[in-house]
Amino acid sequence: MDRPLLWILLHTYALSGVLGRHVFVDQPRGWADAQKTCRAEHTDLSPVTSVRDTDGLREASGGTLKRSWVGLHRNNSVWRWSGGGVLTDYQPWQDWEPNNWLGNEWVVEIRPTGEWNDRQEYKNSSFFCISLTLVSENLRWEEALEHCRRQEGDLLAMPSDTRHLLALSELQKTQTQRVWVGLRYLRNRWLWVNGDPMGFQGWSKAGGRSPEANGEETLPREPRCPALDGSCGALTREGLWEARDCQEKLSFISAMDRPLLWILLLTYALSGVLGRHVFVDQPRGWADAQKTCRAEHTDLSPVTSVRDTDGLRKASGGTLKWSWMGLHKNNSVWRWSGGGVLTDYQPWKDTEPNNYRGIEWVGLINPNGEWYDDQEPTRRSFFCISLTLVSENLRWEEALEHCRRQEGDLLAMPSDTRHLLALSELQKTQTQRVWVGLRYLRNRWLWVNGDPMGFQGWSKAGGRSPRDNGEETLPREPRCPALDGSCGALTREGLWEARDCQEKLSFICD
């Protein structure tokens, strides 16, 4: 459950304002006054371009829709949204509507059933506003996505000219030249990361279609070769889309319309607790503690970094106690219970390990996070590491979403210790391979939680055996991920593979 450094940094931002969402205003007003209020306090009256929008309105009003204004109005006999743009195919008019009764019904309300009705503008009614917020903090594309999803939202998608024009109006209130949106090049195509369809498009000269084509279908010249031109999408203040380097730092627009993926994740009946350090305050000898951890979790906890020490402290309620961890001496070499030798992180107490009386061959941690060797029979509390293989088959990004919704991450294996722990969990099942937190980005492989790329275990496509006992050999990493896949999996043979991110696999959360 060791959160990536990125998540810790995100908590330090002093960003004001509420991120984009539908807002219910239960202060009855005429349609024009409602529009004025929404534009002054939010972005505009709410557009309703899909079932997802209707669900968003229902959620905003406490679970039950009320008879309220939305942003639809008639202009020169054409129905348009207040923020701009014409109707999509989604038009849930009530039977016999719109009927323009008495010839003066030119604005629209939504009924408790989610159906639409045209109505007279001066009638007082509650109303819905859409609120998009441009976050001025400059972040890389993936950091911006993280920020939005931490707020249960997403980077803005613009599947219609309506949403595009709303975003543009928000951008043009500032001096910002361009902002990140939820546009990403994956699996040889551009897509919205919240799952919306690629309908309306507004590419710049690199793309070639004007965003003011009023919905007429022209063939967009999408940017190709994203490894050269960038694989993340931005919106300019001129209203055009650009493909840019994902590592560039830009402001961004967040929308609270929770992606369909998140709704699906909430329905999974997944048992067990995701990977974390667990404090067991039931004093036992080291060998009995090891047996308990292996039976009920994965193994005694390894401590290979400051992050692990922080994880132990959190697991024990904020204060460390004298407790066993997974360190033991085997043939004069200190190793971790789950496998693997020590890393450079070794916070031994002064004069430790001292093997007092020649019988101290297991390790414990003290309240300061320092290590001691001690006698195995001594009864102490202890820490277990618990990794859980989630058997639900998901795409790589869906698996990442699942882990992060649980405040964890897809498993990183920066050391042979973590690799062997994961392998032991995988080999308890019949699963052939699982997703881990390995991803090809900006022309290199990395762990998405920020851990260093130390130990490596590529298959023949990579070329290094994971059983090199830590000896440095040059791994032949898979290149050309557009061809070979840009997401990493661990096989039950203990090897890493580069695979298509759209493949559905089980996964391990950390």
User: Residues 415-424, buried b or exposed e (16+ Cβ, 10 A)?
Assistant: bbbbbbbbbe
Query: 65 or 86, which is more confident?
Result: 65
Instruction: Answer with the residue of higher pLDDT: 195 or 209.
Output: 195
Cβ proximity of 88 and 50 under 8 Å:
yes
Q: What percent of the chain has pLDDT over 90?
A: 29
Three-class SS of residue 319? coil
Question: pTM score, two decimals?
Answer: 0.46
What is the residue-wise DSSP string for 458-477? B-TTT---TTSTT-------
Mean local confidence (pLDDT), 143-147: 85
Split at pLDDT 50, 70, 90, the class of 200 is confident
- What is the rounded distance in angstroms from the CA atom of residue 165 to the CA atom of residue 167? 5
Q: What is the rounded average pLDDT of the residues 83-97? A: 86
- Average pLDDT over every residue of 86-102: 88
pLDDT, averaged across the chain: 79
3 state DSSP class of 422? helix
Spatial CB neighbours of 500, under 8 Å, sequence gap ≥ 6: 187, 485, 487
DSSP structural state of residue 493: T
Which DSSP symbol is given to 240? Answer: -
pLDDT at 43: 87
Cβ distance 474 to 462 under 8 Å?
no
Select the more confidently predicted residue: 463 or 336: 336
> Quick one: how many helices (H) and strands (E) in the chain?
12, 27
Q: Is the pLDDT of residue 9 over 60?
A: no
Burial 354-370 (b: 16+ CB within 10 A, else e): eeeeeebbbbbbeeebe
- pLDDT band for position 427 (cuts 50, 70, 90): confident
User: With bands split at pLDDT 50, 70 and 90, how would you rate the model's confidence at 484?
Assistant: low
The answer on pLDDT for 282 being more than 90 is: yes
Q: Cα separation of 402 and 394, whole Å? A: 9
Contacts of residue 403, Cβ cutoff 8 Å, sequence gap at least 6: 274, 409, 410, 507, 509, 510
The band of 504, judged by pLDDT with boundaries at 50, 70 and 90, is very high
The residue type found at 120 is Q
- Annotate 342-407 with DSSP letters as a single string: --S---BPTT----GGG---EEEE-TTS-EEEE-TTS-EEEEEEE-EEEEEEE-HHHHHHHHHHTT
Q: What is the mean pLDDT of residues 301-328?
A: 90
Q: Which residue has the higher pLDDT, 466 or 413?
A: 413
User: Exposed/middle/buried for 484, CB within 10 Å: 0-12, 13-18, 19+?
Assistant: middle
Q: What pLDDT sits at residue 443?
A: 67
Between β-strands 505-509 and 433-441, what pairing exists: parallel, antiparallel or unpaired?
parallel
Distance of CA 201 to the CA centre of its chain: 25
Query: Are the beta carbons of 19 and 38 closer than 8 angstroms?
Result: no
Position 6 scores a pLDDT of: 28
pLDDT greater than 50 at residue 1: no
Tokens of 410: 């897809």
Q: Which two tokens stand for residue 115?
A: 């159906």
Residue 219 confidence (pLDDT) above 60: no
Q: Which helix (H) or strand (E) holds 326?
A: strand 323-330
What whole-number distance in Å separates Cα of residue 94 and Cα of residue 96?
Answer: 6
Domains of the chain with bracketed CATH: 21-131 (3.10.100.10), 133-260 (3.10.100.10), 276-385 (3.10.100.10), 388-509 (3.10.100.10)
- Mean pLDDT for 60-89 is 88
Average pLDDT (276-285) is 92
Per DSSP, helices labelled H in 230-349 are 260-265, 286-296, 306-315
- Give the separation between CA 210 and CA 85, rounded to whole angstroms: 14
Q: Is the pLDDT of residue 46 over 50?
A: yes
Write down the pLDDT at residue 229.
Answer: 56
Q: Higher confidence at residue 112 or residue 224?
A: 112
Residue 256 pLDDT class (50, 70, 90 cuts): low
